Copies of this chain bind each other. A is one copy, B any other.
Amino acid sequence: MTTLIRNGTIVTADLTQKADILIEGGRIAAIGQGLVGDEVIDATGCYVMPGGIDPHTHLEMPFMGTYSADDFESGTRAALAGGTTMVIDFALPAPDQSLLDALKIWDNKTARAHCDYSFHMAVTGWRQQVFDEMAEVVDRGITSFKHFMAYKGALMVNDDEMFASFRRVGDLGGIAMVHAENGDVVAELSARLLAEGNTGPEAHAYSRPAQVEGEATNRAIMIADMAGVPLYVVHVSCEDSHEAIRRARQAGKRVWGEPLIQHLTLDESEYQNPDWDHAARRVMSPPFRDKRHQDSLWSGLMSGSLSCVATDHCAFTTTQKRTGIGDFTKIPNGTGGLEDRLPLLWTQGVGTGRLTPNEFVAVASTNIAKIMGLYPKKGAVLVGSDADLLIWDPEATKTISAGTQQSAIDYNVFEGLSVKGLPRVVLSRGSVAWREGAVETPEGHGEFVARAPGQPV
């Protein structure tokens, strides 16, 4: 059986064309005029684009005896609802846990996934076992390794550990990733703020100023350069970090920066909200910044010094957030975004003239696929590519609201924002996965996508 998408305008990272798409066996079989297929999806008035890829999620992430509220079921449902057809989640071993054991645990979480997924592996400590298992992890199709420069005493690795791990990643043909904040300084500032009686959510922002992120980014870049490994900096939230990335790229280094949709659209004033819940729900690391930093992130996407837009989706309910009443360091870090990333990026990016539709596809999907070794299986509209496709209606509008969202949590940090540009139909490997507000594929439709090591873009 074949499926035909007809009358749409195909928009990819480098091309806009009016053409039909024929799908067979989950893949794109033909692109052209006047094609014929069994099942026909009409895309009149719509753009047909590669499905979004979210390179940064934390679904069912363990935290202090509980878990982040969206698991692979509700999380990937939210993803599809917002036009994202693949997520890459982080497998997080405990500091002394086997990487392979962690991987098994994460595999187990995915049974009900609605869309395709892959993993990054976190390196949260350094010893011979980690060194050895990294090769096996790569063999299993996981080629990107995350390092935390913050969360001292928990996930954080020191410079010498990071250097050793980066070298190993480079030797294996993988990509090094960092959460870049100076953990020593954050720990000191946090302790001082608490000691001075600053216990509320706004103090979370004070404890991790932009300089702290800029410094760590700059440091990670140097270490990656010395180790000979390409570097991917997650959640770039500020000019300080962006400047370091820009400077590195200008020196010919292979470094990519990933701003989040949250940092592109929300700012630090949220933490001044007198409602503790309102502010605490926005607690994430790095925190929201001021407008000057927002401008910097957008100009990075426009000029190419920043490469991808992600969510760091890690949703906690208000009840979970309230663990941190009286001590901001105990507020679970994280916000949602999977359903809202593409509509917001389109509205505030394409709708304002900052990005062309092609650039939208690049930062929401194609660049990610290329960097992460998924291209052209994902992120492309090419013959042979997986038919992960969006039928995108640029005229559709809605107002974001927790009341109508897919996510399991009881609020939405974008509550009340209007968007113009929404997915009408979403296909995953050729099947209609989302249409008219509902998942159409069976639970567990999503599959693991293995990635091959080698030369990055």
Contact = CB atoms under 8 A, between A and B. Distances in A.
Interface of A: 13-15, 17, 31-32, 158-160, 163-164, 182, 184-185, 187-189, 209, 211-212, 214-215, 218-219, 222-223, 225-226, 243, 246-247, 249-252, 292, 298-300, 302-305, 354, 356, 358, 366, 370, 375-376, 380, 382-384, 455, 457
B303 A249 contact: yes
A292 to B, nearest CB: 7
B222 A182 contact: yes
A360 to B, nearest CB: 13
Q: What is the total number of copies of this protein in its complex?
A: 4
5 contacts: A14-B376, A17-B376, A32-B383, A160-B188, A252-B299
A425 to B, nearest CB: 24
A457 B384 contact: no
A159 B226 CA distance: 20
Nearest to A247: B243
Contacts of A302: 252
A13 B12 CA distance: 14
Given A188-B164, A252-B354, A222 B211 contact: yes
A404 to B, nearest CB: 34
B14 A252 contact: no
Nearest to A17: B376
A188 B163 contact: yes
A250 B300 CA distance: 7
Contact of A305 (B158, B187, B250): B250
Nearest to A301: B252
In the A-B complex, the 3 residue pairs with the closest CB atoms: A159-B184, A215-B222, A160-B184
B226 A212 contact: yes
A367 B54 CA distance: 27
